[in-house]
Structure 1
Amino acid sequence: MTLPQKNLLADEASPYLRQHAQNPVHWRAWSQAALDEARTLERPILLSVGYAACHWCHVMAHESFENDEIAGVMNRFFINIKVDREERPDIDQIYMASLSAMGEQGGWPLTMFLTPDGQPFWGGTYFPPRSRYGRPGFVQVLEAVDKAWREKRDSLIQSAGGLLTHVAARLSATQPKGVLSQHTLLRLADGIEGMIDWNEGGLKGAPKFPNAPFMTTLWLSWLQAGNATHRDAVLLSLRKMLAGGIYDHVGGGLCRYSTDAEWTVPHFEKMLYDNAQLLRMANWAYAATGDELFRIRIEETIAWLSREMRTEHGAFASSLDADSDGEEGLFYTWNDQELANAFETDLPAFADHYGLAAPANWEGKPILRQNDEQREREVANHSTVADLKAKLLAERARRIRPGRDDKVLADWNGLLITALAECGRSFGRNDWIDQAAQAFAGILAAAEGGRLPHSILGDKKLFPALSSDYGAMITAAVALFEATGDTNYIGTARALAEQLDRWHGDAEHAGYYLSASDSKDVPVRIRGDVDEAIPSATGQIIEALARLATATGDLALHEKALSVAEHAMGRASQQTYGQVGIVNSCALLLEPLKLVIVENPDQANLVAVANRNPDIRRIDIIVPLGGSAPSLPGDVVPPTDKPGAYLCAAQTCLPAVTDPDELQRLLRPKAG
């Protein structure tokens, strides 16, 4: 079969794909029909992978894909397929791993050349239209690949088949079970500690990413072994990020990464997943330190999410673009005159708390950031600074806004729902918990036959879901159960776990595949073991099963989670630093904590202590006086005729605690 010789992206649900709908390139979305067309015409595939907020994706689109001459070369030689990596991370991960196996540095836009059967034989990332930056020009690349395809086709097909086999062995294989041990996490945390930049936080060098999976490893090491150095690495990193240019000080929220080692110049795109993970970590940090910086940034970030990222059904959009009016960071940056116009007589007060930074290689306007003293002054004078920032926010609202990618992703929303529910408990903000519940309901309402979609945009849904969607949403359901006491969330979590088993479980019962069994357009079904900016699908699934097993006391589910974790650790041992999400979730599974509190809801002193002391390892179950309590390990049912808190680690429970101060001491991590 052959598809119409025109661009076919106009009707796609992805905003990123629709950004390319007017290109003169004859783009197709990734589909069985597009793959069939390549086979019929015996043409190689030019695969271009990106996402809506990606700056260099926009650059390559403007330079090459909007160029009639270059588009003509693409149309003449190739079947051109566009992929939104956020819609199809399964496709993205296969070909990103292929590029890595070729010895090339990955990134987006990802540009890969495939045989008509979808096997990769060469690739790269961004290519300029003509040779520069020491990189070959895109037209030169296209012509060279076409020549190689015509003259060396058999050799290319053979090497492509070997490469895909290698990638499948890396990403899909079943390995012997590994040993689950807390020492694995502690050794990993020690290794990460050696990478920490003790001046600026984060990992040494540039660019600098928040790297939530690494930060979680360090935090767990502190919780489990009392390593205060690991705790301090996380706190330093968070404080530096939240004062740096990577944080949007006017509107709230974290940008994706910093291009420099001082967190000053961000890549200005703002992603839902980064901010979900920031909220969770800042919540832990506030509980551990009482530093008001973390509370302020949590409130600002949730205000931004509520104001700018909620969609009509209560769930949250994916991202905000790095660019506005054709320029990266234009929406977020300021010069001295613009600040003077915005503040008039208040400018000196603002300058006490913020400065403008313009590093040597930055071509845009200066960026707002704070030094350590300014950060501390803001915390001390928060109400005054908040009023000043509100003026700047109103002034910024007059500008052309960055584009918003409106698609709702189930897994990213699951991460945020969990964070909102946890922060809502810690800060007594029922409105945050309500937002989490509305987002959860919005995702579930889009399900069909009990199956989640991966992506939702208005009436358009992308089925089937990925295993990461089920992992994140199961964890979100358990977090909402903890926050509300509504057992319907546990029933929903169990139903989602059944769908995960049915569509993603492997034949050996050794784990799960990222793509569903009825996804017919994937060249390889991969496990989803490798972390990106968020924990891997496998890591999220193990955490979800561990938390659901602890919440329900289901020993069979716990044993199942242990089996999945052992197989995952067998695979993760080959490349631990790329799979810390698996190590973190296995640590949670090995040391689950369960806290059951029986108390009068009108005098919830014990509950207040639990809420003020969040612990990623712990599941909290609140039972009203006279209610029905769950069984503790050993099938012991706590009495519900009097208040008490029952803390259990694995199969061992401590005596009941009735004094809030004693519970506080019990729940506080012990420093080493």
Structure 2
Amino acid sequence: MILPQKNLLAEEASPYLRQHAQNPVYWRAWSQAALDEASTLDRPILLSVGYAACHWCHVMAHESFENDEIAGVMNRFFVNIKVDREERPDIDQIYMASLSAMGEQGGWPLTMFLTPDGKPFWGGTYFPPRSRYGRPGFVQVLEAVEKAWREKRDSLNQSAGGLITHVASRLSATQPKALLDRQTLPRLADGIESMIDWNEGGLKGAPKFPNAPFMTALWLSWLQNGTAAHRDSVLLSLRKMLAGGIYDHVGGGLCRYSTDAYWTVPHFEKMLYDNAQLLRMANWAYAATHDELFRLRIEETIGWLLREMRIENGAFASSLDADSDGEEGLFYTWSQDQLADALQSDLPALAIYYDLAAPSNWEGKPILRQTDEQRHREVANYPIVAGLKAKLLADRATRVRPGRDDKVLADWNGLVITALAECGRSLARNDWIDLAAQAFAGILAAAENGRLPHSILGDRKLFPALSSDYGAMITAATALFEATGDAHYLGVARNLAEQLDQWHADPDRTGYFLSASDSSDVPIRIRGDADEAIASATGQVVEAVIRLSTITGDIALHEKALTVAEHAQGRAGQQTYGQVGIVNSCALALEPLKLLIVEDPTQASLVAVANRNPDPRRMDIAVPFGGTAPSLPGDVVPPTDKPGAYLCMAQSCLPPVSDPDALEQLLRTKTA
């Protein structure tokens, strides 16, 4: 089968793919038809993987894919396939692992050369159009690969076969299960702590990423063992991030990462998943410290989500570009003159709270950031600062906006829904819980035949969902149940868990694959064990099933969750820091906490205590007077005619408490 010899991306659902629809390259989306075309033409495949907010993806597109001469070489020698890594993480992870196995540094854009049947034989990331930066030019690369394909095909096929076998053994294989060990998490957290930059937070050196799986491991280790250094490293990192240039002080929200060691100059793309994880961690930090910085940044970031990221069905778009009007950071940076025009007589006040930073290696306009002293001043005088920010935001609204990737990803939205529900509980913001419920309903409304899509863009949907979609949405459902008490969400969570089992379980029922069993175009069904900026699909699934089994008290489900966790831990033992999400979720599996509160809803003082003391290990159930209380471990059914809070770990419960102060002390004792 030979597809039309033209660019075929115009009708794709992915905004990233459609960004390339006018390229002179004969792009195809990843599909069995594109693979069949390569076999029919007996040509190698040029695979290019990126995402809409990726700065260097845009650079390579402008330099090479929009160039008629380079496109002509690509069209003559290759079948060219373009992949949105957010839409097809199952494809991206296979070929990123292949590049790593070649000894090359990964990143995006990912540029891989494949045999017609999809086996990788060479690759890289960004290539300039002509040789520079010590890198070969893209035309030079294309011609060299084509020559090797003509003259050394047998050798390339042999090496490609060996490489894909190696990658399959890494990403799909089964390892013996490992007993869950209480010391695994603190040992890992000790290792992470040794890499912390105790001056600036985050890991030592540059670039600096938020690295939520690492920060979560440190926080869980503190909760489990009371290791103050693990808690303090997270608090330091969050404070430095939230005062740095990586945070959008005018509009709210966190950028993807900082290019320097001081959180000053970000790549300005804003990703939904980074901000979902920021909200959760800032919520934990606020509960532990009562530092108003965390509450303010939660409010600002949710304000940004509502203002700039929410779409028609109540769910949230994926990302904002780093670039606008062809320049990175143009939307977010300020010259002194621009600040003066926006603030007028208020300009001197801004210097009390913010610096303009322009490091020597930064070619753009200066970036707003704070010193520690300025951060404290802002928190103490926030109404004044909020007025300054409002003026800057109104002025900035007149600029050319960065592009928005409007596709709705089920897994990323699940992360945001959980964060909104948890923050809404902690800060008594029912409107945030309503936002979470509306986003959840928007995702479910897109299901067909009982199955979730992975991606939604208007009427276009990408089926089937990934295991990460089910994991994130099960967790979101349980978070909404905790926030609302509506048992409907538990029913949905159970249904999603059944779908996960039906379509993603491995033959031995010891774990799950990332892709569904009827995904016909994946060269390898991988497990999805490796973390990226978020916890791995496996980590998310283990957490989800543990949460569901804990809140329902379903013993069979709990046993299944433990089996999956033990086998995941066995695989994670082969990695040092690449599968932290699995270790984190296994720690939850080892010591799940359950808090059942019986109380008059009109005088919910015990529930208020639980809400303002969030603990990622704990699941909360509120039962009104006269309601039906679920059984606790040991088949104990609490009375529902008097107030009481029952805190249980695994198969044992502490004596009930009815005094709010006593419950506060009990919950805080479990976090130190």
TM-score (norm 2): 1.00
Matches within 5 A, 1:151-230: 151-230=151-230
1:542 aligns to what? 542
User: Greater CA deviation, 4-13 or 626-635?
Assistant: 626-635
Q: Report the CA distance between 1:576 and its aligned residue.
A: 3.0
Q: Quote the Cα distance in structure 2 between the aligned partners of 1:201 and 1:545.
A: 32
Match status 1:447 vs 2:456? no
1:500 aligns to what? 500
2:56 aligns to what? 56
- Deviation sequence 1:332-377 (CA, Å, 0-9, x none): 0001111111111111111100010000100000000000000000
2:35 aligns to what? 35
- Deviation sequence 1:191-243 (CA, Å, 0-9, x none): 00000000000000000000000000000011000001100000000000000
Q: Indicate the percent of aligned positions where both proteins have the same amino acid.
A: 84
Match status 1:556 vs 2:556? yes
Counterpart code for 2:517: S
Q: Report the CA distance between 1:248 and its aligned residue.
A: 0.2
Distance 1:129 1:189, change over 3 A: same
Is the Cα–Cα contact under 8 Å of residues 90 and 526 in structure 2 kept in the other structure? yes
Structure 1 unpaired stretches of 5+? none
Matches within 5 A, 1:251-330: 251-330=251-330
1:393 aligns to what? 393
1:403 aligns to what? 403
Is the Cα–Cα contact under 8 Å of residues 252 and 300 in structure 1 kept in the other structure? yes
- Deviation sequence 1:118-155 (CA, Å, 0-9, x none): 00000000000000000000000000000000000011
Q: Quote the Cα distance in structure 2 between the aligned partners of 1:264 and 1:218.
A: 24
Q: Quote the Cα distance in structure 1 between the aligned partners of 2:637 and 2:10.
A: 59
Match status 1:104 vs 2:92? no
1:615 aligns to what? 615
Is the Cα–Cα contact under 8 Å of residues 353 and 375 in structure 1 kept in the other structure? yes
- Deviation sequence 1:484-542 (CA, Å, 0-9, x none): 00001001000000000000000011100000000010000000000000000000000
Q: Quote the Cα distance in structure 2 between the aligned partners of 1:611 and 1:176.
A: 39
Counterpart code for 1:132: R
Q: Quote the Cα distance in structure 1 between the aligned partners of 2:376 and 2:202.
A: 20
Match status 1:599 vs 2:599? yes
Is the Cα–Cα contact under 8 Å of residues 217 and 580 in structure 2 kept in the other structure? yes
Q: Quote the Cα distance in structure 2 between the aligned partners of 1:541 and 1:361.
A: 42
Is the Cα–Cα contact under 8 Å of residues 421 and 432 in structure 1 kept in the other structure? yes
Counterpart code for 1:503: W
Is the Cα–Cα contact under 8 Å of residues 252 and 297 in structure 1 kept in the other structure? yes
TM-score (norm 1): 1.00
Partner-residue secondary structure (3-state), 1:506? coil
Q: Quote the Cα distance in structure 2 between the aligned partners of 1:587 and 1:21.
A: 46
Q: Quote the Cα distance in structure 2 between the aligned partners of 1:227 and 1:240.
A: 21
Is the Cα–Cα contact under 8 Å of residues 228 and 671 in structure 1 kept in the other structure? no
Distance 1:414 1:670, change over 3 A: closer
Q: Quote the Cα distance in structure 2 between the aligned partners of 1:454 and 1:576.
A: 30
Q: Report the CA distance between 1:178 and its aligned residue.
A: 1.0
2:572 aligns to what? 572
1:358 aligns to what? 358
Q: Quote the Cα distance in structure 2 between the aligned partners of 1:391 and 1:509.
A: 57
- Deviation sequence 1:555-611 (CA, Å, 0-9, x none): 110100000011111110000310000000000011110000011111010000000
Q: Quote the Cα distance in structure 2 between the aligned partners of 1:557 and 1:111.
A: 42
Counterpart code for 2:520: K
Counterpart code for 1:510: T
Q: Report the CA distance between 1:182 and its aligned residue.
A: 1.4
2:134 aligns to what? 134
Counterpart code for 1:480: L
Q: Quote the Cα distance in structure 1 between the aligned partners of 2:490 and 2:642.
A: 25
Q: Quote the Cα distance in structure 2 between the aligned partners of 1:27 and 1:40.
A: 17
Q: Report the CA distance between 1:669 and its aligned residue.
A: 4.2
Structure 2 unpaired stretches of 5+? none
Counterpart code for 1:380: A
1:231 aligns to what? 231
2:420 aligns to what? 420
Partner-residue secondary structure (3-state), 1:668? helix
Q: Quote the Cα distance in structure 2 between the aligned partners of 1:323 and 1:117.
A: 36
Q: Quote the Cα distance in structure 1 between the aligned partners of 2:133 and 2:29.
A: 30
Q: Quote the Cα distance in structure 1 between the aligned partners of 2:188 and 2:458.
A: 43
Partner-residue secondary structure (3-state), 2:577? helix
Q: Quote the Cα distance in structure 2 between the aligned partners of 1:669 and 1:333.
A: 44
Partner-residue secondary structure (3-state), 1:182? coil
Q: Quote the Cα distance in structure 2 between the aligned partners of 1:541 and 1:135.
A: 40
Q: Quote the Cα distance in structure 2 between the aligned partners of 1:419 and 1:346.
A: 35
Matches within 5 A, 1:358-377: 358-377=358-377
RMSD (Å), alpha carbons: 0.6
Is the Cα–Cα contact under 8 Å of residues 226 and 669 in structure 1 kept in the other structure? no
Is the Cα–Cα contact under 8 Å of residues 223 and 669 in structure 1 kept in the other structure? no
Matches within 5 A, 1:426-437: 426-437=426-437
Matches within 5 A, 1:576-655: 576-655=576-655
Q: Quote the Cα distance in structure 2 between the aligned partners of 1:649 and 1:500.
A: 27
Partner-residue secondary structure (3-state), 1:121? strand
Q: Quote the Cα distance in structure 2 between the aligned partners of 1:270 and 1:11.
A: 26
Is the Cα–Cα contact under 8 Å of residues 224 and 671 in structure 2 kept in the other structure? no
